[in-house]
């Protein structure tokens, strides 16, 4: 069953981040601690993200909402890339940022805007 979850975890991560980034992310976590890497792959990505009851796209939106509200910049960038791969549009990301500026404060929206710009315009220098 752990094997099954591990497989589902890598499939979900591949859907979000692409095969290469999914594998690299897992390797990077394993270099730190193999058990923690497996926990995240099997329980978080394989177990939780693949549960029925909420679409992957909706899971991506609420994940980004929480990351933006909490000011978790690097993880927000990772999940914005995932969101774009899932087909979430630029407009949807912008609306999420504008909307949540009122719930977690404008500074979290400005930080999310910086993340959005980096993720969508990678060639432009970060302002």
48 binds a copy of itself (CB under 8 A): yes
Among residues 21, 29, 84, 86, which is the contact residue for a copy of itself, using CB under 8 A?
A: 29
Range list of H helices, 1-127:
2-17, 19-32, 34-39, 56-70, 73-86, 90-104, 106-120
Beta carbon of residue 56, minimum distance to a copy of itself (angstroms, whole number): 11
- Structure-block tokens of residue 109: 């929206």
- Nearest residue to 78 (alpha-carbon basis) of 122, 17, 33, 34: 17
91 binds a copy of itself (CB under 8 A): yes
83 binds a copy of itself (CB under 8 A): no
98 binds a copy of itself (CB under 8 A): yes
Q: Which residues bind a copy of itself (CB under 8 A)?
A: 1-2, 28-29, 31-33, 35-36, 39-40, 43-44, 47-49, 51, 53-54, 58-59, 61-72, 74-75, 91-92, 94-111, 113-114, 116-117, 127
């Amino acid at each position: 069953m752990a094997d099954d979850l591990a497989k589902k975890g890598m499939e979900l991560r591949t859907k979000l981040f692409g095969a290469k980034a999914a594998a690299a992310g897992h390797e990077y976590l394993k270099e730190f601690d193999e058990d923690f890497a497996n926990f995240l792959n099997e329980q978080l990505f394989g177990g939780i993200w693949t549960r029925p009851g909420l679409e992957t796209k909706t899971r991506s939106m609420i994940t980004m909402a929480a990351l933006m509200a909490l000011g978790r910049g690097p993880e927000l960038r990772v999940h914005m890339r995932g969101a774009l791969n899932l087909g979430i549009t630029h407009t949807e990301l912008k609306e999420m940022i504008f909307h949540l500026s009122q719930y977690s404060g404008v500074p979290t929206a400005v930080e999310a805007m910086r993340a959005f710009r980096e993720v969508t315009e990678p060639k432009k220098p970060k302002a």
